[in-house]
Structure formats: structure tokens, C-alpha cells
Amino acid sequence: MSDQLAHAGELAFGDGFGASLGQFAKIGRFLSGGTAAGLEHFELETYVRTEGFELLRLLLQDHFDLRALSEARLEEVSGASGLAHRAVERDHERPLATIVGTVRVGRMAYRCRGEQNLYPADATWNLPAELHSHGLRELAAIESSRGSFEEAKEAMRRGTGVKVGHRQVEELASAAAVDFAGFYDRQARPTAAENEVVVISADGKGVAMRPEDLRPATAKAQAEAAPKLRTRRSKGEKPSKRMAEVAAVYVVEPVPRSPGEVMASHDDTAKQAPKAKDKWLTASVVDDAAAVIAEAFSEADRRDPQHSRAWVALVDGNNHQISRIKAEAKLRKVKVTIVVDLIHVMTYLWDAAWCFHDEGDPAAERWVGEKALQVLEGKAGLVAGAIRRKATNLHLSASERKNADTCAGYLLAKAAYLDYPTALANGWPVATGVIEGACRYLVKDRMALSGARWRLKGAEAVLKLRAIRKNGDWNSYYSFHLAQERKRVHESQYAGNVIP
């Protein structure tokens, strides 16, 4: 039986695939023999998996060998300097670690004294500059964006049988992420419909970093606050972090609501908030808030290039973010209405509530609900005054009324961005659930793994890769990335960036 299969393969493939056909015949002989008949299915699976990877590797090797034999010799090849490479040598080999094992790729070398060799076949095959194939690079990118680099290494070994080192996995992931900005600069985006609102939201999340990759101010503060112990943190000591800036852009169909409907939104029968669609996320631990918010505005421009739709910016009240949104809106000559997130307002109200009520008192919940409803009705200033008066009338000490005063101060300071009546009447969202979820998914779920201390390059790559995957753009992104790799690695070596 195995001989018949091998013969059929020879008829189909010819003489160029002798090694792989031999491996195929070996597998067939084993499976049709008496030894295999006595094995349990798991043992058979293990055998087929191991020998199957070798079969695939040999198929790939035979194919490269066949292409090397059929490579046509060119009269000359001109390098980027314009010098002609006329001397040709065959059988220049290089290793290529692939998803099925390492193969050797033979091709012609075009030589010129004092110049680097040129390999047109490398460009035709779009071979990587380094050892590992683009298939391994993609696998490393996907797996390391899911879990730790160590887990990614093990997942790659289990899935392919190929062993890749921890540092190589991190380098491959970093290499896969380099075209994030270029891809989204060129990527066509869905245009906001006439009745839709373009929403921009931004927030930040700390990432524990290695000391050498902290921002200068953080590094200085860490140096001044020397740890008590050399090998571990003492009680109260926290790891130094670098802020990862996160931004989201999406559109919503307006859903006008009343303040009462917002407060009843936990009820399944109540009118629900506008639903986000066509979400796009970005994040960076390298770029600051200004740069990330500028990215978000560029994405919003792609959604509404004529600035004919309503634009809303949802924030948590961070003054720097607000100032950067204003500056970017002014630069691009677009009107953006800034709305402070209701959930953050509620947090301040709850903190104030415990100044007046015992922990767990149901009256606190009623009090917060009443004050939140008033804020939604546009009475933030009145609520702030009422909170301060209540604290005074109860004769609370400065420490006892601290959270109440903080809440009142917040409401007054953000009053310009608490125009909830207008936002609700226009059907706009008033909560930052999208950006909160983005911070959790892009940053916390991956970057806050126990004991993780990040290097800047690896952290930035993982953020970009997670954003691409969450945006649902992985396949189109990776195709773009491979095209850019061809330009960087190969086309740049030839005159006029034209590969012969």
C-alpha cells in the first residue's frame, strides 16, 4: 500500500521531491505495519505529528531545491549605488527557520568588488533578513500578544515543533508591529453615516517598567526614593510605571434619553445607551498623550473627512487630555464637544456619600442616585453647593469632609464639560465604557501579568499587536506588513528600487 502511494506521488511530483516522497513512504510503511496496529491512538497521533512535521519540512526543502536549480541567470544586476553586479556564483545557501523546521535556501549571488552581494531570488521569495521566517514571525506576534513571551515560546513549540528562544520571540513580535502607523495611515475606514456621531475617547494606564526605560521624571523620583531592600520591594513600595496612553474612535447612532432613563439603564426594559460600532483602538507606551490623541483625531478624520458630522470627546476629566483634545481640534479646525464621563462623576459622589452615611447604609445609594440625577439635569453647581453645605451643617472636621469637598471641587472644575442635558437630548453617549474596556484589554490583561517588568520595545510592540487584533485588522495588516518588508529589505538594495 505504501509503495503504491509513493509511486502515485512520484508520478505527480517527478524526481524533484525524492526526499519528501521517501519520508511519506516511511510514514506509510510504519502505519501499515504490525507495530502501529498495537499502538493507542495517542501514540499514533504523536508519531504522525513528529514525522508529519519532518515530511512538511522536506517538502519545503525539495521545493526550494527545485527553484534553485531552475533560477535563470541574469546578465547583470544593478545595486542601489548604480554599480552593475556581473559576476555570478551559484549555490549560495542561507538557513531559514520556518513553521515546519529549518531548511536551506540555495540561490545565485550577483557580485561586484567592494559592494554587498545581491540575491534577486531572495527578493522574489521575500525572504526575511533574519533567520526566522515570516510565518514564525506572525505566530510569535499572535501568541505573544495573547500571553507572556515565555508562554508564546511554548505555544510555538507545541504547535509547530520548532524551538524559538525567549528573546527571539520578543524580537519577532517587535518586528511584526513596526508598520502599525503606516498601515492605518493608508487603510480605508468606514465613513460615518449622515446621522452618526464620531466619538473620540482617551485614557492612560500605568505599565511596570524596567528602570532603564522609565520616563526621566519617574526615573529621577525612583532614584530619590531608594528602596529599603535590594532584591525585593518592602511593604508600601510599588513598582515604577510608565504611562501607556490609549485612545479609541468609534461612531454611534444617536439615542436621545432623559436623565431618568439614564439612571434606570440598569433595568433591562429601560432605553439603552447608544451602541458603539466600527471601533478602532490605539495605544502607546512610547508616545505621549499628545501624540496618541493626534492619532485618534487622524482616525476620526478618516471617518468624517469633511467634518460634517458631530464630534464628541469622552474623557475622565484629566486636564492634560482635555487640553490636548482642544489643541488638536483647533489645529484641525473641527468642533469637538468634550463630555466628562458620568461614571467618574458617580465615583466622586460615592466617595462623598461616605462622609454622610455609614458604610453599607442603603440611604447612601439613594443619596448618590438623587445627586447623580441632578447632575444629569444640568445642576452640577447646585449639587456641589449642597454637598458643601451638608458637610458644614453636620459639623464635620476637615478630614471627615475631605472627600465631600473633593467631589464638590471636581463638579465645579468640570462644570463646562458636564452639559449632560445637551448630550442626552442629542443622543450622545455620556460614559467612557469603551475606553475603559480598551485600557483593560490592551494594557491590564496583558501588561499586568504577575511580576512583569517591561522593556520599552517589547511593551510597545505588544500594545500595537493587541490593538491590531482587537480592531479586527490582522489579516490585512500582515499582508501590508509583508509588502513593506519587501520594500525595506529587498527593493531598497536595487537601482530605482526595482527588483530585476
Query: Per-residue pLDDT tens for 455-466?
Result: 899 999 999 999
Torsion of CA 395, 398, 399, 404, to 10 degrees: 80
What are the tens digits of pLDDT across the range 55-101?
999 999 999 999 999 999 999 999 999 999 999 999 999 999 999 99
**Bridge partners, 99 (sequence order):** 101
pTM assigned to the model = 0.87
Task: Indicate if the pLDDT at residue 491 is higher than 70.
Answer: yes
Task: Indicate if the pLDDT at residue 487 is higher than 80.
Answer: yes
Q: What is the largest CA-CA distance in the chain?
A: 97
Task: Indicate if the pLDDT at residue 12 is higher than 70.
Answer: no
* Mean pLDDT rounded to a whole number for the chain: 90
What integer is the mean pLDDT of 354-364? 92
> Secondary structure of the chain in the HEC alphabet?
CHHHHHHHHHHHHHHHHHHHHHHHHHHHHHHCCHHHHCCCHHHHHHHHHHHHHHHHHHHHHHHHHHHHHHCCCCCCEEECCCCEECEEEEEEEEEEEEECEEEEEEEEEEECCCCCCECHHHHHHCCCCCCECHHHHHHHHHHHHHCCHHHHHHHHHHHHCCCCCHHHHHHHHHHHCCCHHHHHHHCCCCCCCCCCEEEEEEEEEEEEECHHHCCHHHHHHHHHCCCCCCCCCCCCCCCCEEEEEEEEEEEECCCCCCHHHHHCCCCCCCCCCCCEEEEEEEEECCCCHHHHHHHHHHHHHHHCCCCCCEEEEEECCCHHHHHHHHHHHHHHCCCEEEEECHHHHHHHHHHHHHHHCCCCCHHHHHHHHHHHHHHHCCCHHHHHHHHHHHHHHCCCCCCCCHHHHHHHHHHHHCHHHCCHHHHHHCCCCCCCHHHHHHHHHHHHHHHCCCCCCECHHHHHHHHHHHHHHHCCCHHHHHHHHHHHHHHHHHHHHEHHHCCC
pLDDT band at 314; cut points 50, 70, 90: very high
Say what the pLDDT of residue 258 is.
93
Say what the pLDDT of residue 351 is.
96
What are the tens digits of pLDDT across the range 179-232?
999 999 988 888 999 999 999 999 999 888 888 777 776 666 665 556 655 555
What are the tens digits of pLDDT across the range 432-463?
889 999 999 999 988 887 667 888 999 999 99
What are the tens digits of pLDDT across the range 144-185?
999 999 999 999 999 898 999 999 999 999 999 999 999 999
Task: Indicate if the pLDDT at residue 471 is higher than 60.
Answer: yes
What integer is the mean pLDDT of 340-350? 94
Say what the pLDDT of residue 266 is.
64
What are the tens digits of pLDDT across the range 475-485?
999 999 999 99
Say what the pLDDT of residue 448 is.
83
- 250's grid cell: 468609534
Task: Indicate if the pLDDT at residue 411 is higher than 80.
Answer: yes
Task: Indicate if the pLDDT at residue 109 is higher than 50.
Answer: yes
What integer is the mean pLDDT of 289-308? 95
Say what the pLDDT of residue 8 is.
44
What are the tens digits of pLDDT across the range 19-32?
999 999 999 999 99
Task: Indicate if the pLDDT at residue 39 is higher than 90.
Answer: yes
Say what the pLDDT of residue 2 is.
44
What are the tens digits of pLDDT across the range 226-273?
665 555 555 555 668 888 999 999 999 999 999 999 988 666 666 788
Per-domain boundaries in the chain: 1-70, 73-187+473-500, 192-204+245-443
